[in-house]
Amino acid sequence: MSNLRFRTIPESDAPVIQLPLFGRFVHAPTAAVLYQFREVVLCGRSTRVAHLEQPVFARR
C-alpha cells in the first residue's frame, strides 16, 4: 500500500484517497478502511481517516 494516492477535488478541501489494487483503483470508503487497517493492525500506528473525502461518484 505504499502507492496510496491522495487527490484533491474541487468539491471539497479534504483529500480523496485512492488505493491501486490489481491494476485499478479502490476509492473511499473502501480504500480508507484498508488504509486504516494497515496502519493500525499491521504497523501499530494510530491512524484516523475521518478527514478523508469520498470521490464525487460515491456521494450518490
Residues 14, 32: Cα–Cα separation, whole Å: 13
Locate the domains of the chain by residue range: 5-59
Task: List pLDDT tens digits, range 3-60.
Answer: 899 999 999 999 999 999 999 999 989 999 999 999 999 999 999 999 999 888 887 6
Position 1 scores a pLDDT of: 57
Model-wide pTM > 0.95: no
The whole-angstrom separation of Cα 19 and Cα 17 is 7
List residues bridging with 24 in a β-sheet.
21
